[in-house]
Amino acid sequence: MRDREPEGDGDKLEEVDEWQLYASAGYASSELESEEIESEEDISEEIWFDGDDLEFEGSTVNWDSPPCPAPLGIAHVIKIGVCDHCLARVSGLHSKGSGPDSGSLIREEAFLRDAELESKIIQDYCPLCENLFDDVENIVDRVFETLSNTEFSTMQFGIHLPKDLVQEEDRIRSKYGAPGSYHLKGAIVESIHERIRGLGKEVDFVKEKPDVMVLVDGLTLRVDVDVRPIFLYGRYRKISRGIPQTRWPCRACRGRAQGCESCDETGLQYIDSVQDLIGEPIRDALDAEDTSFHGMGREDIDVRCLGSGRPFVLEVKKPSKRTLPVEDLVELVKGHALGKVEVDSFTWCTRKKVNEVKQSRSEKTYTIRFRAEGPVDNETAEKSILSLDGQVIDQETPQRVSHRRAAKIRRRKITSIDKVSFEGDDEIEITLRCEAGTYVKELVHSDEGRTTPSVQSVLGTDCEVIWLDVLEIHSE
């Protein structure tokens, strides 16, 4: 008897199955107790839906068109007009790859499953992308047309899509697309990348520090291109006086493009500047729009800057070329700035270097030549000047810069006085090293007593500065 037990169990299971079929076929009587009806419905759902969750990503599933990759789901998105690109990305059939070819393959298979499907398609306008994928070639052509004269090897690409399109696409994709389907924006960008690679262009797509940033408006197909600046680090020596560090607009016309009579139509107060002596030949060679000059501090127009020179970063804006050897650029500057400004070498750098240069504060060594108005005894004068060696001085904001600097007292150290020499009856020359930010001319003439102590105060006679050189900027 025990042998028969399993059979008996089997019979029981079959009975249950039969009963479920019976119930789900609609034979359950309406006169049954409501409790029983509920339990029958539960069972019937289990059979129909094979235990699947009724909820899908928060919305009720329509089982006539379930999400892809269910064949009915694929049939549904084909019916509503989805294009081959979007079919490939929302179908969930990753084995078939991506792009329009795999989309058309999926479509053919769906047509084989349902011969009438093709006739049921309601429109040839894709509700997921509004046929934007058809514009990919056009977009890429426009991008390269805009960049036809620009050299670049890296690109950051963005596309702006209308908000309502994105929302509608998201709604349809969440409901009918396979879980994890690629969103429209990512798919369009990827398709554009593919098209560009397909053209054999050597472009790396990057998320930061690109050579060019491209932004396409998905509605108007307007292409905006931002050619990113390039940066050159170097040190300049200014070997001629009377040259400002940066471009100085004409005082009369305020530097307007056409200039005026007083500036000879240049718009500039000084024709030469360190910025243009170095920057112009480079701007020209790289076919760039303009330059910005970022120096590690600056010297006055009449002050030379010697030694190993002053560190700076030249920012070259919107360059058409960006790969000339730096040695060639050095040669170009030598030809252009001869006898005025010298640069020994350049290195390419990033914007980060601008901040480094701007924030760096270094001690400097100066040579300053001045005239003592009253008679001085050289030996006593030298002793008096050397008494300032290692001293801390107080400097009120100098009168000549008070219009652009806050009024305050700066405490600065004279690190060392290295040399004092005399020439003729009244000229004295000092070589000294000072803390960053020391006003050296004021240290000599005292700025009407605003700098104390000063060379003038220790000599006991008025001092008039003749010239000043920056001999060395002590930065690594």
Residues annotated as catalytic (active site), given as ranges: 300
Does residue number 188 form part of the binding site for Zn ion (CB under 5 A)? no
Among 79-87, 283-291, 414-422, 465-473, the segment contacting Zn ion (CB under 5 A): 79-87
Name the DSSP class of 266.
S
* Of 185 and 334, CB closest to Zn ion: 185
Question: Angle at the Cα of 398 (from 395 to 402), degrees rounded to 5?
Answer: 130
* Of 127 and 319, CB closest to Zn ion: 127
H/E run at residue 222? none
* Of 261 and 377, CB closest to Zn ion: 261
The closest alpha carbon to 254, from 243, 265, 268, belongs to: 268
Does residue number 128 form part of the binding site for Zn ion (CB under 5 A)? yes
Does residue number 81 form part of the binding site for Zn ion (CB under 5 A)? no
How many Å apart are CA 312 and CA 404, to the nearest integer? 22
Least CB distance from residue 128 to Zn ion, whole Å?
A: 5
How many Å apart are CA 213 and CA 202, to the nearest integer? 16
Stated length of the chain: 476
Does residue number 184 form part of the binding site for Zn ion (CB under 5 A)? no
* Of 128 and 165, CB closest to Zn ion: 128
The contacts of residue 201 (CB under 8 Å, 6+ apart) are: 144
Least CB distance from residue 104 to Zn ion, whole Å?
A: 13
Please report how many Cα atoms fall inside a 13 Å half-sphere around the Cα of residue 242, on the Cβ side: 7
* Of 128 and 216, CB closest to Zn ion: 128
How many Å apart are CA 151 and CA 227, to the nearest integer? 9
* Of 72 and 136, CB closest to Zn ion: 136
Are 231 and 293 contacting, i.e. CB atoms less than 8 angstroms apart? no
Least CB distance from residue 132 to Zn ion, whole Å?
A: 7
Among 124-132, 288-296, 346-354, 411-419, the segment contacting Zn ion (CB under 5 A): 124-132
Q: Token pair 């700066």 is at which residue?
A: 410
Does residue number 250 form part of the binding site for Zn ion (CB under 5 A)? yes
Does residue number 83 form part of the binding site for Zn ion (CB under 5 A)? yes
Does residue number 86 form part of the binding site for Zn ion (CB under 5 A)? yes
Are 179 and 68 contacting, i.e. CB atoms less than 8 angstroms apart? no
Are 306 and 365 contacting, i.e. CB atoms less than 8 angstroms apart? no
> Which one of 189, 252, 386, 458 is in contact with Zn ion (CB under 5 A)?
252
Question: Angle at the Cα of 282 (from 281 to 283), degrees rounded to 5?
Answer: 95
Does residue number 126 form part of the binding site for Zn ion (CB under 5 A)? yes
Among 253-261, 276-284, 371-379, 383-391, the segment contacting Zn ion (CB under 5 A): 253-261
Among 115-123, 142-150, 244-252, 351-359, the segment contacting Zn ion (CB under 5 A): 244-252
Given the rule CB under 5 A, which residues bind Zn ion?
83, 86, 126, 128-129, 250, 252-253, 259-260, 263
